[in-house]
Amino acid sequence: MSEIINQSIGIMARAAHQARLHLRQYPWLRTQVAKARQLLTFLRAMMWPGNWRFYKQYLGDRRRFLELANAAKVKLPPLQWYPCLFDRQMTTPIPDPYYFYQDAWGAAQVARVKPRLVVDIGSSAKLLSAISPFYPVIALDIRPLAAGLPHLQALAGSISELPFRDNSLEFVMSLCVVEHIGLGRYGDTLDPLAHEKALAELCRVVCPGGRMVLSVPVGPPCLAFNAHRIFSRQELLGLVPGFQVEEEIFCDPAYTKTDPTPSKAIGESSFYCVAFSKSEKSKIS
């Protein structure tokens, strides 16, 4: 059975590929390609026996829906196969709870300070889209955002060489970024000291009295190449001279004020979220 399905998938995939090549010349093929894609998705999921019970539920619901529509004499629009099989859950799932709590905390920091401008380096695009209607955002990333919003300006650049003057920014945020720098994962230059350079650059551009909002994974220190570094809390604090901690919290994944590092094994971590203020007397250049 699986072999037959695999052969069918291969045939349809090749047919869909050929159809795409001719779409511009033959617009009517678009409908056929859409149908082939739907059926391809359907058959791929059917290959896994664990999914069969979900398809049984889906097919039963589809049949009953059509019966109800027929009994009520409802004229339906064209019906497509679009099985969503795994959404019947007791609670709404959170795809990544660490980012859920971290980004909520980051947004709260912006709302608390109410900066005239948020300069963000590499944080979540979803977080920036939620902040930008209320506060202007400059979003700098080595992979700049390919999206446009009225108050969100995307720039290409590196956290290791920020294009801002010394002591010039009121509010700088970089959540879950520093741990990745220098490992090549995102196309950045390999550099064993890149995290230190990145933090030095962040410290340089914040103005005296300004805020710097960061998060990094903390746990038993290690380098999980090429995914990320894991810091200790004290290691991070030692890399930001001239800054005072205004607020700190750990996401494990829910909020806790107690450092969970002692319970972690090598390679395990929590998110350490920390808001710093720059000393009024500190002018780093």
CA distance 126 to 145: 11
User: Which three-class secondary structure state does DSSP give residue 81?
Assistant: coil
Please provide residue 79's backbone torsions phi and psi, each rounded to the nearest 5 degrees.
-100, 130
Q: What is the pLDDT of residue 283?
A: 67
Does this model's pTM top 0.85? Answer: no
- Tens of each residue's pLDDT in the chain, 285 residues: 555 555 655 666 666 566 556 555 666 666 677 777 767 766 666 666 677 788 889 899 999 999 999 999 999 998 887 888 888 889 998 989 999 999 999 999 999 999 999 999 999 999 999 999 999 999 999 999 988 899 999 999 999 999 999 999 999 999 999 999 999 999 999 999 999 999 999 999 999 999 999 999 999 999 999 999 999 999 999 999 999 999 999 999 999 999 999 999 999 999 999 999 999 877 665
212 within 8 A of 202, measured Cβ to Cβ: yes
Q: What is the pLDDT of residue 55?
A: 82
Q: Is the dihedral of CA 100, 103, 109, 114 positive or negative?
A: negative
CATH tag for 97-278 (out of 2.70.70.10, 3.40.50.150, 3.40.640.10, 3.20.20.480):
3.40.50.150
User: How buried is residue 253: exposed, middle or buried, by Cβ count under 10 Å (0-12/13-18/19+)?
Assistant: middle
CA distance 188 to 234: 26
Question: What 8-state DSSP symbol labels residue 226?
Answer: T
Domain-by-domain residue ranges, the chain? 2-71, 97-278
